[in-house]
Amino acid sequence: MQDDLVELLNKKVAFFNHPRFIEHDPISIPHLFSKKQDIEIMGFWISMLAWGQRKTILQKGRELIDLMDGAPYDFVLQHQEKDLQRFEQFKHRTFNYTDTLYFLSFFRNHYQQYSSLEEAFVLGNFNTENSDIEEALNGFYRYFFEPSWAPERTKKHVSAPVKNSACKRLCMFLRWMVRKDQAGVDFGIWSKIAPHQLICPLDVHSQRTAERLHLVSPGPTHWKKAVELTQVLKQYNSTDPVQYDFALYGMGIEEKTLWK
């Protein structure tokens, strides 16, 4: 029975970890770029906006790109105060102008000091000896909201394990940046975080599938549950457990494929 489960998961990974997956997924937004910093900026931003209908998420991603003149990194570093007015009408669900201005400010301050957003995740207590990315995410949260004037409302858009959030969107973003294989869906442009340290992105869809496959016990969707799932997945692939995110997410969204 265990062999059948592994065979099913590997089959679904092969099906969903494919370039055809890109077009209708939020990852298609950073795939519009080749410059590392553009990929990072739009990858992070669209992952933070990745809730609701995927069609709307993609529309908002393209709208952001247009507002940044098609060059996110250049805009972040070179924009003037008057250029910020154009973002007044940008909104996605509860993400609004205040949040947008803070994101732009964070990016500018960070990229004035560092060449990659990866540094924001490894500045704290995280290192290569950590078993997973918990310290990387907690450190990033502290760093992201370090300014005393950081808007309180924006904190609901960026999660952290210390808040017992499953951190689905951040885990997804790190999957994009860290994982690399021949399929070409994930970018694999970061090297200071290893694939085996990643935690599987967990939302209600993937958890429901994981529960039906008896990979995790039923319960709330939180950080400990995401870690629990990843530990089980490491039994099937110890170096790249998060590859199974493709299978769990895909099967959760398209349940008609679940038992085929």
- What is the DSSP annotation of 104-149? HHHHHHHHTT-S-TTHHHHSSS--TT-SSSHHHHHHHHHHHT-STT
**The pLDDT of residue 245:** 96
What gap in Å lies between CA 62 and CA 32, rounded to an integer? 10
pTM, to two decimals:
0.95
**Tokens encoding 105:** 């400010």
**The pLDDT of residue 254:** 67
What gap in Å lies between CA 175 and CA 159, rounded to an integer? 16
pLDDT above 80 for 256:
no
Task: Provide mean pLDDT across the span 105-123.
Answer: 97
Which residue in the block uniquely carries the two structure tokens 């016990």? 217
Confidence of residue 260 (pLDDT cuts 50, 70, 90): very low
| 126 Cβ contact list (under 8 Å, min separation 6) | 133, 135, 136, 139, 193
How many independent structural domains does the chain possess?
A: 1
**The pLDDT of residue 1:** 55
Task: Provide mean pLDDT across the span 68-75.
Answer: 98
Closest by alpha carbon to 188, among 27, 24, 26, 14? 27
Task: Provide mean pLDDT across the span 24-47.
Answer: 97
| 109 Cβ contact list (under 8 Å, min separation 6) | none
**Tokens encoding 114:** 């560092």
Q: What is the mean pLDDT of the chain?
A: 94
At 138-195, the pLDDT tens digits run: 999 999 999 999 999 999 999 999 999 999 999 999 999 999 999 999 999 999 999 9
Q: What is the residue range of 8's domain?
A: 2-257
Residue 128 CA neighbour count, 13 Å, CB half: 2
